Every structure is written in structure tokens, then in C-alpha cells.
Chain A
Amino acid sequence: MSSASNSLKGFARSDGRWGLRNHVLILPLHSALCATARKIADESNGAVAVSHDWSGEADADFERIIKTISGFAANPNNFATIFITIGTPNELMIIELAKKLGLNKYEVLNVAQLGSMGKIADVGLTLANSLVKEAAAVDRVSAPWSAIALGQECGGSDALSGITANPALGVASDRLVELGSASVLGETTEILGAEHLLAARAITPEIGAQIVEAVARYERSINYEGIDMRGAQPSRGNIEGGLTTLEEKSLGAAKKAGSAQFSGVLDYADQVPKSGLYFMDTPGHDIEQLTGFAAAGINIVVFTTGRGTPTGSAIVPTIKVATNTTMALAIPDLIDLNAGTIADGLKTLDEVGGELFDLILEVANGKETRAEAGLHHEFSLSRMYNTVIR
């Protein structure tokens, strides 16, 4: 085990939460404004932007969408958010909701008031650069362990996921939870078949029942569509990676959560409490999950991968942990830590778990991840309903 003392430093927010980054986020509230938002971010001195395909429609997914977007804006890693709007009541609702969720500094650029997207781009760039300058002048200060809200994610799992990277993340997660951080396991898809084991670790039988129910609800929603989930998982990429069954995949995926007790179950993008281990009901789709984590206030993510993936969030540092050495060597610019050394017999699980704990602390303190260096800023809105007609 590592001997890191509490040298954590972050950005204190007025609502008591902590940022591990100090981003200026350009957030378009309509799909047609995304190109303008990207243009501002690209030309700025370090502001970030996301793109999405929501055009303001108030359909069956409306509540889920505004919860996601407002939570993303309110993430404590944002020093400031510049909303780009056309000025509808629904957009105002998102901003009001974000304020309730602890939105830090913000500005609203209304295209109808400014007159054109070109004008938004000009005004937005000046504003973004002045906020970036302001953000850079803020110093980190000593933070408690509860400043860390860790998200656990896996993608492109293989036969070693459940033996190397996932249990190493479990070791690091257990240690953080013990120190007072929050840690969140997601991906309902990927605990299907292992839910009973996780439920047994809940602090109360009610919370255990909620874990089982989250999986049952998920399976019902898929079965309703006439599709057998147990036939669609593991994915083709997983099978090529050596996984044989959904249960094998799920048992391995659940190892990310270590051995701590579950303090609660969260719905998609629900705000994460300060301390403890939680389960969040999210899709396994990597980017929908990452976006939901960010919207929940999670400020750092560890993403274990067997096949390798470059993805990241615009605002939440995402640490990639390789499950096997072959991949870690073949595509080195995607990977922050190789847990394949466990399977190679070079290191113990506890050693790699300790290395990962140290790396989480370093990244929390500002060390850039591979995904951050590569400007991987993926964003996806999770929807539950058919979007063919809207």
C-alpha cells in the first residue's frame, strides 16, 4: 500500500464542494449552437465545449436531459459556465436547475439578443478568454478527502479485466472510501448477473433491494423492446477479448467497487453525497455513463479497459487503466497506468492498487491524464425513449 499522506489540493466552491479542475465550459443549450460553442473553445486559451443533439424538444426524455445538462454545468470542476441559448423558457429552466445544483460562476449568451451566431462567437471568445485568465489566477488549497468524488467505469473489457485492472481499482476505491471520499459504481448493464453479490454488501436490506430492483427495471425496459439482453452481452469486442458469458463480464466489472459497503443507490445523474460507496443506475454506453457521472458532480474517473479507448470528458479527468500489458504497449498514448503487470507476475494486486491510489491523488492535484492531453471531450445525452418521431 502507498503511504500518501493527505496532500490533496483543490478548488473550494462556495457550496462546500471541491473542484479538481478549474474549467471554463462553453455549454450550448441547442444542437444548432454547438458549432459556435466549439469554435469559441477551439479559438480560446483553454476553454472547453461539448456538442449534443438536443434541440429543445420537450419529449418523454425531457426531465432526464435537463437534469443531465444542468448537472454537467454545475459540476464543481467548472470555474465558470458560459451558456449559449436561443432564449426559451426550457433553457432558463436548465440554468435555474443548475443554480440549485451548485452552479459556480456563469454567463448567458442569448443568440436572439446578440442577433447572430457570428456575434455569439465574437462576444463568447472575449468572455471565455477573460474567464480563463480569471480561473488561472485561482490557487489550489488544501482539501479534505471528501473533496474527491470518484467514478468507476470500464469499457472494452477482456478476460483480464476481472483479475487485474478492476480489482486494482477496487483496492484504490476501498482506500478512498475509508478515508472519506465518495466512490460510485455505475453501468447497470454490467452488473447484470452479479447484482445479488453487490446487494449483499449494502448497509441496509432496503439499499440491497434497490440495487436488485435497478437491475430488474433495466432488464424489463430492454425485454419490453423484445430483445434478450443476455443474448446481446457480452459484446463482440468482449468476446474477442476472451470473455465468455454475461455473468463472467459482470462478476469482473463489479470488482471495481472493491469490498466496501454500499451506502446508497442513485438514479442517473443524481447528485453524489460527500462520502461513501454508491451504485448509480447508468447505461453501459461509455460516454452516456461518463456524462451522467459528470452531471452527478463526480470530479474524477478511473476507466479500466482491456481493448483501449481514447475517450474522455471535457470537464472530468479520466484515468485509463489497462488490463493487459500487450495492449498497454501497443497503444501507449491512451493508457495512464498498466495493471497488466499483475497478470505478468511482476506486481501484486495491492501494489498496483496502491499505484492507482497515488495516481488518483496526483491527477486530483492537477496532473494531466492522457485523455485530457489529447483533448478528448466526448459528451452523450442518455435517453430512455424512442426518438424516431419528435
Chain B
Amino acid sequence: MKGFDHGNRGVGVRDHQLILPSVVCSTRVSSRIAKEMSAVTFAHQHGCGFIGNDVGRITDYFAALANHPNVSSTLIVGLGCETLQGNELADKLLSKNASTNYLVTQESGGVEGTVNLGISAAEELRTKYPSPEVALARLHLGIDISNESTKIEELVVALTEVGVDIAVAAVHKNSGLNFSDLMEAGVHVILSFPDENQPASGFPLIPTINVASNSPLHLALTNDFDLTSTATTTEIIEKIYEVVNGRLTKVEEIGAGEIIAAREVRSV
């Protein structure tokens, strides 16, 4: 199995630079930097106007994203006046991974200033922290079981026999929330069995292999799934290895993948 050496983050199966907006107000600036750098970013609605346990919850969530093994380096883009302060998040991350930097729009001359500084900062991170190709010793696979009728015992036995570590997320019927749990567990690849009434979906940093059920929706959307409901254990394992070694999943080809982060308390 091929991988990328991402220092303290571990060996990843993808080589993604993450432009992390630490607040919803920075998502546009982040997407402009990411587009220029072919890096990964995503839209979200967090980072401000939240209280109680959610502050720690979302901060930890963003820290887990930034420290994920598929990430080569992280540039945090904050606004300045928000609850979740980008510099504090950066300090927390820097203690683990030197390939982290942050920018604050209110201190960087506005949108254009932040985009320009952000591109330079992202380029510098790439130069300073290359990601040499190495062998991946052990694959950490996440399995999302949002479809209750999924039977995966045989698959788990077969995967364990070939030395794959497995994390299973089955708490939610919402794949997006299960993906978040699996991301925090640091899995390299996700194998998703979505609910029969849900489409194929994915997570931004983690290749997500979607396995269809034989529901009418999934049959209609066969082209969006990587595997059909008739896929055998052997075929599923073959697909996992192909994806580990660089083949894009259907969701990666589309460029889809949202983060869904849970909250305990309403916004203030």
C-alpha cells in the first residue's frame, strides 16, 4: 500500500493540504486560497455565536481535521472577532505538528490581503514540509453503517485477516455524522453503507467508498456509487486497495464532501 509521510500526523493515503476556515465568515477567503493551491477546504457554519460544551467540541473537531493523517499541512484562516480564535487553535495544533500556520483577515488588510498572504503561506508550508511517498504499514478503515440491514461480519473477518484496523460508526442514520466520528478516529478511508433513502456522500479529506443497497433510490443512482449491493467481500476489499493506492472514489471525482459537525446548544 502506498502512502504519504505526514510527520506526526502519520502516513496518509492522500496528500491534502487543508485550508481550514476557523469560522463561517472565512469560508470564502479559504475557498479562494484552496482553489489557487488545489488544496482542500469546505463550507461550514461554525466558529462563532456558540457556547457551552460546543466551544470545546467544535475546537476539538477542527483540531482532529487539521491533525488527520491524510493532511500534509494546515493553514487556518480566521476572521478575528470570533469565538473560536484561530491563533489559539493554531497553538494547540503547532504543539503537535509544525506544518501549521494561521492568518486573521482583520489583521491582514482585508479579503485580498488575506488571500495573497494565504497563498504565500500555503506555498511556504508545501516547500518546507514535503510529503515523501512511503509504504503504508497498516490501513485504518472506517465503516459507516447508516443502513441498519447491512451485514458486515464476513467483511470485518476478512479485513482483519489481511491486517486492516477497523473503526465502525453506526450510531447515526445520517452518514455525515458517522463520517465525523470516523474522521475523529483518524481513519484513512471510509467505506459507507448509506441509508436506503440517502444518496452517496463523502467527507472532504477522506476518500469515501459508497456501497449501494438495492433500494429504488440507490438503484436509480448506480452511477454515483462505487459498488453495487451485489458486491462480494473480495470485490469490496479489492476496491479498498485500489482507492488506498490512489484511485479516486466517485465522490472524490465529483469533488463532493461536506462536514457535518454536531452541536449541543442553539446558536447565540
Contacts and interface: CB of A to CB of B under 8 A. Distances in A.
Interface of A: 30-36, 39, 51-53, 55-57, 86-88, 111-113, 115-119, 121, 155-156, 189, 221-222, 225-227, 229, 232-233, 235-238, 240-241, 283-288, 307-311, 327, 330-334, 374-390
B28 A378 contact: yes
A388 B110 contact: no
Interface in B64-79: 79
Contact of B110 (A113, A286, A333): A333
B174 interface: yes
A113 B223 CA distance: 12
Contacts of B162: none
Contacts of A386: 262-265
Interface in B201-257: 201, 216-217, 220-224, 254-257
B49 A51 contact: no
Contacts of A286: 24-25, 48-49
Contact of A310 (B105, B197, B256, B268): B105
Interface stretch (B12-20, B81-89, B123-131, B183-191): B81-89
A207 B92 CA distance: 48
A377 B172 CA distance: 30
Contacts, number: 213
Nearest to A235: B83
Contact of B254 (A35, A226, A307): A35
A112 B264 contact: no
Given A55-B174, A232-B51, A383-B263, A307 B224 contact: no
Contacts of A307: 79-81, 106
Interface in B159-187: 171-177
Nearest to A390: B174
Contacts of B171: 389
A284 B24 contact: no
B10 interface: no
Contact of B45 (A53, A57, A116, A385): A53
A337 B216 CA distance: 54
A285 B81 contact: no
A311 B256 CA distance: 23
A288 B173 CA distance: 25
Contact of A380 (B45, B112, B113, B221): B45
B20 to A, nearest CB: 16
B260 A53 contact: yes
5 shortest interchain CB distances as A-B pairs: A237-B81, A285-B49, A380-B45, A35-B256, A331-B110
Given A309-B25, A310-B111, A55 B176 contact: yes
Interface of B: 24-25, 27-29, 43-45, 48-52, 79-83, 85, 105-106, 109-113, 171-177, 197-201, 216-217, 220-224, 254-268
A382 B79 CA distance: 21
B134 to A, nearest CB: 30
Contact of B111 (A111, A237, A333, A377): A333
A161 B173 CA distance: 45
Contacts of A35: 254-258
Nearest to A288: B267
A334 B111 contact: yes
A372 B152 CA distance: 49
Contacts of B44: 53
A308 B25 CA distance: 11
Given A283-B267, A285-B267, A374 B81 contact: no
Nearest to B82: A237
Contacts of B24: 286-287, 311, 378, 380
Contacts of B52: 225-227
Contact of A284 (B81, B105, B198, B268): B268
Nearest to B52: A227
Contacts of A229: 51, 268
B81 to A, nearest CB: 3
Contacts of A226: 52
Contacts of A53: 44-45, 176, 258-261
Given A35-B255, A308-B110, A386-B263, A284 B49 contact: yes
Given A232-B268, A237-B80, A332-B110, A33 B51 contact: no
Contacts of B257: 35
A238 B220 CA distance: 51
A287 B264 contact: no
Contacts of A375: 28
A377 B266 CA distance: 22
A168 B106 CA distance: 23
B258 A51 contact: yes
Contacts of B50: 285
B106 A388 contact: no
17 contacts: A35-B255, A53-B259, A56-B197, A56-B198, A88-B197, A111-B221, A112-B221, A156-B79, A189-B268, A225-B265, A309-B25, A310-B28, A311-B28, A331-B113, A380-B267, A386-B262, A388-B263
B213 to A, nearest CB: 14
Interface centre among A113, A331, A378, A389 (most CB of B within 10 A): A331
Nearest to A285: B49
A310 B174 contact: no
A229 B52 CA distance: 10
Contacts of A287: 24-25, 45
A236 B83 contact: yes
Contacts of B221: 111-112, 115-116
A31 B201 contact: yes
A388 B182 CA distance: 14
